Amino acid sequence: MRYVLCERKGQIEFAPDSSVPHDEQAVAFHQLPPFTTPPYCPQTTAIHAELQRVLSGKQLLLSELPYSLQTLHEQYQRGCIAFEQSIRQHGPRHFQCLRCGNEQFLLFAKLTCFQCKEHDCVYCRKCLMMGRVAQCMPLLRWIGPPFPYPSIKQALQWQGKLTPAQQKASDHLRSLVSTGGELLLWAVCGAGKTEVLFSGIARALELQQRICLASPRKDVILELLPRFQAAFPTVTIAGLYGGCKAQEENAQLILATTHQLFRFKEAFDLLIIDEVDAFPYSYDETLEKAVYKAKKQAALLVYLSATPSRALQRKAEQKKMNAIYIPLRYHGHPLPLPRFQWCGHWKRLLYKKKLPKPLQHWLIKQLESGRQAFLFVPSVTVLQEIVPLLKSIDSTIEGVFAEDPHRHEKVMAFRNGAIKVIVTTTILERGVTIPFTDVAVLGAEEKIFCESALVQIAGRAGRSSEDPSGDVCFFHYGKSNAMQSAQYHLIKMNQRGRHLT
Amino acid sequence: MKRCLFCHETLVEEVSWNDCFGLRKRSLFCDTCYKGLEEISGERCDGCGRKHSLFPEQYRQNMTCLDCIKWEGNALYSQVLQRNISLYVYNETLKAIIAKMKYRGDAELAKGFQQKLQQVYTTFFHGYAVVPIPLSEERHYERGFNQAELLAQQLNVPYENWLTRQRHENKQSKKTRSERLKINQHTFLLHSEVPPLTGTHCVLIDDVYTTGATIRAAALILKQAGALSVSSITIGR
């Protein structure tokens, strides 16, 4: 489709070429000279309520809206919808996708577009999964009065009890809702972060706010969804993740994977980001932009983490943002501290099809004790080398990695106790909670095991109250700084926890 | 830094002697993606270009597969399509690439097939008139481009939009085999401004040859307009 500019009430506005007969001035949307969006005038216009609900806090393409162009253009003339550029050109080799924030020149391409009839219509290759966005397609945004979400009182039906540390954090969060700004909620692995959020979310619902909890991983969303539905039985909660069925995207309370935030713009009053330090959030900087885009200007942004990045820690220490600490696990026991065990040049040994002696001893002891264990290795290659060697000691041992076709079955078998020892890359470092487990890391000095990864791995042990302590052993060939700072991190957290009790 | 056209991973290129002599043709896909593609080479069906090693011998007579023989027995479609040549086996990797190109709209991926397409065109169909399989107006608008036209562009020879697709039918890819075979012979029409085709050899371009119904319906129109022969090139088979 092509567009023209026309004058209406002394203002320069745009119109689709179909509305003007035989106009040869029509150009693609991105070639339109600047135009104005008429101001919203409350007296004269009735609001298109359904459109308001669908489009509030969103950025959508024309093809994503089931309304005729005429309806949408009318809403534009009434000052309810803004038509905005989707891809901005900053220079000959510099484009920016205003939906996903992509600025990598390699991830843009040109094509001869049948919609705008231009030969070099640029489109973004990064957010193709959400439906292709090309230069000539405007992004539509609701700029009329925002959709009024109801005030939901007594939404929280959760009956559980918080520990004193959790209670303090929970109250603090509640008091900050509606003030805006940023908040770091630094809670050790197994502190019970989710329950801490409930009271704050209930408060936000009361204040007619729109809330989103975003996590980098789909598994987490799937686990949280039933817990939230049980805690807030009267509230419609939408779970948005890749591959989910079309959902109530306009729900007041949303649990979503971080990637889903690209769809939103200035939508949320309370935005909670789970595991800010985790891949892919820490890896893909466009996700960070997506977070800032999805929240309202005055929103409260809460970062949840057990291992916040240096930058975030510093910001908290310098009082540039609020911070709450929960240094104690919900069962009140200290975090298990890792012990370091030198195991020689393990790579050479594996190459010779031998296991390092200390690891062999650990394994035999582990199998005798009847407890389950994780063995973390630095890469898939190491995993494939070591699993056959371990299988010769005990045949139930299995290895699991990200592209493993049987990944979920193996993890399930480990959860059921059918597999005693599971060998894994860093994919299982977060989220997996199994009582009575010990943890070992082979090659803990490797670069991939950074401080936060090691803290998370150590956090796999001793998660339940029946088994608060577990063995955490780092097998290494020379201690790394990350190993030492991870140990220091855990010691410091335990000290903080002791002060509390 | 180069990146794989499909998976966007960094492309590591090993330098070999062939580079010094300019003999090597670089693939735009990374090794992992490229290995997933299975080239059709060696013995293949004379008609549809299916690789012989992929189906049991009892399903062919001499060099021709039973499907093609069945087509030749059809009064309307007999002798319509001279031969089809496909580049790759339509396996999971190729399915993923074509799905991303067509349904996700990543037109850029067509460039990944350029080398092979040009190679096939010059070896088998040099000098033939190139005709991409069209989309209906509505589908073309919805998608923003026609994937067959994109592939035809990769040949770097002028191509002809001699055909139009008449009505907005259900997608071929959403139909069962028997439904697909029943494709309406009036799906395609000759464009109003086509010069007389008498004496022209034509080659149709499409993304996938599945049952051959679409290609034959298009070929029929060109034949009726007087084309001397009609062949086709597709990416997948």
The yes-or-no verdict on residue A431 having pLDDT over 80 is: no
Give residue for tokens 């970062």.
Answer: A303
Quote the pLDDT of residue A48: 83
Identify all chain B residues contacting A125, using CB atoms and an 8 Å cutoff: 106, 108
Spatial distance between the Cα atoms of B102 and B171, rounded to a whole number of angstroms = 12
Q: Give the pLDDT band (50/70/90) at residue A447.
A: confident
Identify all chain B residues contacting A127, using CB atoms and an 8 Å cutoff: none
Query: Going from the N-terminus, what domains does chain A have, and what CATH number goes with each?
Result: 3-142 (no CATH), 164-326 (3.40.50.300), 339-500 (3.40.50.300)
Tokens of A275: 């595991």
Q: Show the CA angle centred on residue A57, arms to residues A56 and A58, nearest 5°.
A: 95
The residue of chain B with its CA nearest to that of A137 is B144
Tell me which of A111, A118, A136, A284 to substitute to probe the interface with B (most B C-beta atoms closer than 10 Å): A111
Quote the pLDDT of residue A122: 93
Most confident segment among A212-226, B23-37, B89-103: B89-103
Quote the pLDDT of residue A156: 87
Identify all chain A residues contacting B105, using CB atoms and an 8 Å cutoff: 123, 128, 131-132
Quote the pLDDT of residue A70: 86
CA atoms within 13 A on the CB side of A237: 24
Q: What's the rounded mean pLDDT across residues A309-322?
A: 85
The yes-or-no verdict on residue A299 having pLDDT over 80 is: yes
The yes-or-no verdict on residue A305 having pLDDT over 90 is: no
- Would residue A68 be called left, alpha or beta, if left means φ above 0 and alpha means ψ between -120 and 50 degrees? beta
Q: What is the pLDDT of residues B73-86, one digit of tens each?
A: 888 888 889 999 99
Q: Which residue has the higher pLDDT, A94 or A250?
A: A94
Quote the pLDDT of residue A485: 92
The residue of chain B with its CA nearest to that of A119 is B145
Q: Which residue has the higher pLDDT, A431 or B62?
A: B62
Contact by Cβ (8 Å): B173, B202: no
The yes-or-no verdict on residue A75 having pLDDT over 70 is: yes
Average pLDDT over all residues of chain A? 86
Quote the pLDDT of residue A482: 92
Quote the pLDDT of residue B183: 66
Q: How many CB atoms within 10 Å of residue B112?
A: 22
Chains A, B: CB pairs < 8 Å: 39
Q: What's the rounded mean pLDDT across residues B157-164?
A: 91
Give residue for tokens 């494939």.
Answer: A384
Quote the pLDDT of residue A175: 92
Identify all chain A residues contacting B142, using CB atoms and an 8 Å cutoff: 63
Taking CB atoms and an 8 Å limit, are B144 and A114 in contact across chains? Answer: yes
Chain A contact for B36, CB < 8 A? no
Q: Give the pLDDT band (50/70/90) at residue A27.
A: confident
Spatial distance between the Cα atoms of A128 and A453, rounded to a whole number of angstroms = 31
Residues A446-450: contacts with CB under 8 Å, at least 24 apart: A446/A378, A446/A379, A446/A480, A448/A378, A448/A379, A449/A376, A449/A378, A449/A480, A449/A482, A449/A483, A450/A482
The yes-or-no verdict on residue A44 having pLDDT over 70 is: no
DSSP B39: B
Contacts (Cβ under 8 Å, ≥6 apart) of A384: A399
The residue of chain B with its CA nearest to that of A114 is B144
The yes-or-no verdict on residue A413 having pLDDT over 80 is: yes
* Residue among A43, A311, A1 at smallest CA distance from A184: A311
Q: What's the rounded mean pLDDT across residues B224-233?
A: 91
Most confident segment among A201-205, A368-372, A390-394, A395-399: A201-205
Q: What is the pLDDT of residues B172-215, one digit of tens each?
A: 777 777 777 676 667 888 888 888 888 889 999 999 998 888 89
Taking CB atoms and an 8 Å limit, are B145 and A114 in contact across chains? Answer: yes
Tokens of B145: 């481009």
Residues 43-102 of A with CB under 8 A from B: 63
Quote the pLDDT of residue B194: 82
Lowest mean pLDDT among A126-140, A406-420, A427-441: A427-441
Query: Going from the N-terminus, what domains does chain B have, and what CATH number goes with each?
Result: 1-36 (no CATH), 42-236 (3.40.50)
Rg of chain A over all Cα atoms, to the nearest angstrom = 27
